[in-house]
Every structure is written in structure tokens, then in C-alpha cells.
Structure 1
Amino acid sequence: MKTLVIAEHDNTRLAGATRHAVTAAALLGGEVELLVAGDNCGAVVDEAARVAGVSRVIRVEAPFYRDLLAENLAALVLSLVQLKLYGNVLAGSSAWGKNLAPRIAALLDVAQVSDVVKISGRGCYQRPIYAGNVLVGVESDEAVQVLTVRTTAFDSAGDVAVDGAPAPVEVAEAGPDLGLSTLLRREISRSERPELGAAKIVVSGGRGLGNGDNYQRVLTPLADRLGAALGASRAAVDAGYVPNDYQVGQTGKIVAPGLYVAVGISGAIQHLAGMKDSGVIVAINKDPDAPIFQVADYGLVADLFEAVPALTATL
């Protein structure tokens, strides 16, 4: 039974979430095909064709696919599923995937399974509930399995060998432009730091930093020394210390770096849901009863304004 993975991209390159979704799709058995819908997205198609495990790339181009708006994409996927009889449809559990997949499931009149972290076979999955505190087994007998997969739970699919043949590319017709939504503008934060969702080291700050100036003054030098991405708790984001795309947690980004340094973060359950799968967790907080210490591998009860500069100076 064939599986369709929907590619997330910016018309220039694939998003990392798509490669993780390809790895998950392979666990369902059968061929894995990758849908690249966009506008002038030849570079993405070429990259997609070289992703290991992909048997075919479906290329669909039209100006109204440029911004990957969910309404138009959902209609396209519906037509492809009906035409090619895909048994499974997957997307990464990113903000984009979470917006798209429920629409596809609704059009197909099936129940979606969200945030899958383990696939034992088609129709047999694990997913987190209660902010990640419990893993529940889910069985689905839907004719078409529509899944979003948590990218931190599956390895990223690599590229085929240099001397290997890329997957064939099939050009398909565009679906209708429903005209239900329009992207007015996109504001993208540019940074030389690693991307938060894919970084091997993350330094995050919480409300204990007091303000945005302290956040930058205390954490930026430490992140520079470690070559780390910067993150934050929801409380710090809501207080305006940093932009929303820094947020780690249940309503932010789910990360699982090799090293996660939590500074001035109390450890609310929503934040822990986004980072507790990290390899090594280091927590610095002046409150010895802070919940963050329950998941930390190394905890330091200290004034962060003294401890973090001292740590940075020793690196």
C-alpha cells in the first residue's frame, strides 16, 4: 500500500520535518511517494528526488501553491488520494503540518492520528497525551491513514548514494484555486545560529531573566560559546523578551537536542512537553523546588546572573 508524504518547503529547499516524515512513512511498508506542490520549485524537486526511501516524486506547480496554503493543498491531496489510491498520508507535526492534515482528514471523512512518535505497523501507533506525560497506544482501521509525525521521534532521511539513481519525477495537474485564503506577508527572522528545531545544542531562558535586555546580555554569550540555538519558555515570549519563534513547549517548538540548557525556567508542564526528550538537560534556577529539576540531568541552584557568566567564562 502506497504512502504519500506531503513536502513542506519554501520553494527553494525541503524543510527538515519532511525528511523525518519520510523515515516514519517507511515504517508503514510499501512505496513512499513525496508530493512537492509549489511554484518554480525545481530545486526542491531535485532535492526531494535524492531523499533516501522515496520511490517517486509528484510535482505539481501553480502560482497559487507558492505559499502552500492549506485549503488549496488539501483539495489537491484529496484528488491525488482518489486517483492514485494512497493508503496513507503523512506530514510532519510542524505548525504547517498541523494546519494541513486535519483538513485532508476531514475531506476524506477519516479520523486523523496526531503527533505520532512510534509506528509499529499500519494502524498501530503511539502518541503523547497529557502534555507528553503519557504515551498512549492508538489503533486505527480507517481506509486512509492520515498522520502527523513528531519529527524528534524519527531520524532524518538522508540522501541516496552519490552513484545512486534519484527517484523518478511525475508531473501532475494542479487542482483548483479555491481562493479561500491569502498570504499577506511573511516576516522571517534571519540568524546565523542553528535553526531551533534542528539544533544539537539549545540554550533557553525563562521569566527569571527579568527582561529582554537581560536575556540577550546573559544568554547570548553562552550560546555563542556553545554554538547553540536560542530558545525560551512561553512566559518569556509572552512577556516580550524574545520573538514567538523562540518558544519551546507544547504550544511552541518541540526540540530534542543533545544538550538543553534551561536558565531561569521553572519547568511548567507545557514547557517540559517540548524539551524533555533532550539528551542531556542542564537547569539553572534559584528555586530548589522548581519542577525543571525533576527532569534535569544536572541542576544548579544559584543566581543565574552570577552562574551563567561564570559558566561562560570557563568555556
Structure 2
Amino acid sequence: MQSGHPTPSANSYTLAELVGNIAQTDGDYSTHIPGLMIYRRSRVTDPMPCIYGLGLGVTVQGGKRVMLGEEIFDYAPGQSLVTSLDLPVVSYVTRASSAQPFLGMGLALDARVITQCAAEMNFSTPLKASTSLAMSVVTLDEGLLDAITRLVRLQDEPQLIPLVAPLIQQEIIVRLLNGEHGPALRQLMTAGSPGQQIAKLIAWLKQHYTEDIAMDDLADKAHMSPSTFRQHFRAVAGMSPLQYLKHLRLQDARQLMLNEDIDASSAALRVGYESASQFSREYTRLFGAPPLRDIKRVRLAT
């Protein structure tokens, strides 16, 4: 379990004020800055399965927990979470109240910018040969916190956003690569590394998960033996390839039922299930309720 509550700095209080001004009531807020989202919750939330993409998350006030397979990440104010590829997780707010609501922010990261910056940087420590989990929680250093604060503050100067935001976002990526999040980001951008092979395979899976896929065929695509492939996949994604495939299918089926108002059997077929009963069992295991009841519950909550 990752935990620990760093002492908030003056910049942390400034960021909390800026975020609180944007999110004055509960909800998810898009901003004028591409890729930047702000979140506010005035009470703890139920665990919610979702997909975290390549990005940076920061808890500004309150507390949050993210579960990836058997790994548990708790992060508090002054801590950052980086996800270096698309991962199915379960996340929820653990500390929030009306007086002290949870405040958080998420920033999508650009893989091309990460690759370009990493190629131009000289790193003092070489990458280890082993693959590491594509998610990490570390304490924000003052330089990174300052850059994030300046990015959020740009919301008040919309005329500067097109020119200045990309520069600050690039600075954030450089600081991430240079800090404790760096190894996880670099391993997925290093040509020929096992981490990059898994990242490419996951990108392929996202496009083809509705198809009938044999796990040994995935190993062939990654140019690994089946046992080595499973080992590297679990090391990066926190779960087996089969679990990952199930998460993709079930998450998509849920969105289909919510957005297109189709029944569970139709959704199951659309995402690649041949058995409606197997779909219902696995859906219930992931979301905590059968499809019909879960969809009703989500609609009542929104």
C-alpha cells in the first residue's frame, strides 16, 4: 500500500484556493486548458471501476484511493499519481465533507511530448532491465507543484492559454521524467524494452477487444513466450492479460447500456461475450450488482 501524508506547503494552499474557485459545487469541471480537469466532492464516494489513461492526478484537498489489481494507492494533498498507460482501476474519494470537500485535478499527458522530452534529456541513472508498474504515487516536489499551480492559474488569462499552456505542460512532463515518476514513464517510451512491447500490445487490445482473442496470440504479438508475456504484463498493468481484457469489455458494455439504452444481452454480444450468463456473472463481480440494477443505480446517482 502506498500512503503517507506530506506537510502542505504555501503553494499547496494557493492551488487549493485556485481549484476551489473553479469547482464551487460538486462535480467534474473541464477547463479552457486542454487536458485539464477539476473535481470536487463534498462526501466520500463508493468504489467506482473506471479506466485511467496516460496522465497526472493530484489530490489538492481530502483523500483518494485507487486500486489496481491487488495494489492499493492512497494519495493525499501534496501527492501526485501518474498513470503511464490505460489501466482499469477502482477509485473512490476517502476523505471529504461539506466543510472540507475533496478537491482534485487531472491532467492528460501527451505520449509524443513525453517521448520527445525523454530523448533530449540526460538521465543520471540508467533504466533497470525489470519492468515496473505503470502507476506510481509520490510526493510533489516544489518545482512540479509550482508548474501545476501556474497552469491552473492560466484559467484566469484565457488569451494566453494557446501559447503558454503547452510550454507549462512540457515543463510538467520534463519535471515528471526527472523525478520519481520518471522510470515508469521512461520504460514505456524506450524502444524495444519489455515495457514498450506491453504498451504497444495494450494499445492494440483497446482496438480489438471485442474480437475472439487467444492469450498465446497476444504473447506472439509481443514477441515473448506465453509465460514471459504474462509476467511482464502483470508487472506493468497490475493484472493478467485476461483480467485486463475482461475489464475493457465490461467497461464498454456499461457505457453502451448507459449511452445507447440497450439491454444487457445486446451489450454482451457487442463487446465480445458469447454467453449472456457469463457476462452477467462477471459484470456483477466487477460492478457489485447485476447489469440492470447497476445501470438503474448509476442513473439515479447522476
Task: Give the TM-score taking structure 1 as reference length.
Answer: 0.26
**Higher relative contact order by CA 8 Å / sep ≥ 6: 1 or 2?**
2
Name the structure where helix makes up a greater proportion of residues. Answer: 2
> Is the radius of gyration larger for structure 1 or structure 2?
1
